[in-house]
């Protein structure tokens, strides 16, 4: 029945959130003299939210938001060399080796013989392409789709482009909001594999016969075979 699998990239195939967490830790340490960690986190989150509509998702926008937060929290007294450090943190993120999650390489390889695989990621085109190339997984996927927003309209466009009926499609990812709900909304299947670092607000589980939650990607092949 299901013949096409969509895989999310960040925090489904490879680690990503841990890179942001690590950098945010360095950001807090750099500005510890000016504000306490909670205040810094709040200001950075406010800046990221305010900038999302002009920058979109990705590391470059994150760095620009860190710089703005550092300037505002110090009332403009932050030394330029500290802002250069923030730029260097961003470059380190962009050049960081791509680290696959456990068992991903084996499971993706096995599934690639039985299913059509499409990598569907959100974010910065250049950075995502670079990560896909460095992941060593590119050859396992029949197609790669990088979108600026993962909503139902985006998934519908991707499936139409590849002539895939939604009921023959399953999306696998770590985000209920981006990988699960919009796919269920257009009649597709969805498998949620939570990432170790969970967001502040715990995500609700959608009650849907086309939906499953698993703890390890190793559970994916038998689940698909049984569905």
Site for a copy of itself, rule CB under 8 A: 54-58, 60-61, 63-64, 67-68, 70-71, 74, 76-81, 83-84, 87, 90-91, 94-95, 123-127, 129, 146-148, 161
Q: Which is nearer to a copy of itself, 60 or 140 (CB)?
A: 60
Q: Which is nearer to a copy of itself, 81 or 201 (CB)?
A: 81
Q: How far is the CB of 159 from a copy of itself (least distance, A)?
A: 15
- Return the exposure string of 94-108: e unless at least 16 CB atoms fall within 10 Å of the residue's CB, then b: bebebeebeebeebb
Maximum distance among all Cα pairs of the chain, rounded to whole angstroms = 61
**Element at 66 (helix H, strand E):** helix 59-73
d(CA 173, CA 7): 6
Q: How far is the CB of 191 from a copy of itself (least distance, A)?
A: 26
Q: Is 199 exposed, middle or buried (0-12, 13-18, 19+ CB in 10 A)?
A: exposed
Q: Which is nearer to a copy of itself, 131 or 210 (CB)?
A: 131
Q: Which is nearer to a copy of itself, 59 or 111 (CB)?
A: 59
Q: How far is the CB of 147 from a copy of itself (least distance, A)?
A: 8
């Amino acid at each position: 029945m299901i013949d096409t699998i969509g895989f999310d990239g960040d925090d489904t195939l490879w680690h990503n959130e841990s890179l942001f967490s690590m950098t945010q830790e360095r950001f807090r340490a750099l500005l510890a003299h000016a504000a306490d960690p909670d205040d810094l986190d709040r200001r950075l989150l406010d800046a990221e939210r305010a900038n999302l509509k002009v920058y979109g998702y990705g590391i470059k926008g994150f760095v620009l938001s860190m710089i703005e937060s550092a300037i505002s929290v110090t009332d403009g007294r932050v030394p330029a060399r500290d802002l250069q450090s923030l730029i260097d943190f961003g470059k380190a993120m962009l050049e960081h080796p791509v680290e696959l999650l456990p068992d991903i390489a084996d499971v993706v390889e096995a599934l690639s013989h039985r299913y059509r695989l499409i990598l569907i990621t959100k974010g910065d085109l250049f950075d995502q392409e670079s990560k896909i190339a460095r992941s060593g997984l590119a050859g396992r996927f029949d197609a790669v789709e990088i979108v600026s927003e993962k909503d139902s309209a985006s998934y519908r466009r991707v499936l139409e482009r590849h002539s895939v009926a939604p009921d023959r499609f399953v999306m696998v990812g770590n985000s209920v909001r981006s990988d699960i709900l919009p796919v269920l909304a257009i009649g597709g299947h969805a498998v949620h594999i939570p990432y170790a670092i969970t967001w502040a607000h715990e995500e609700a589980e959608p009650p849907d016969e086309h939906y499953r939650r698993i703890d390890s990607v190793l559970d994916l092949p038998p689940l698909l075979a049984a569905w």
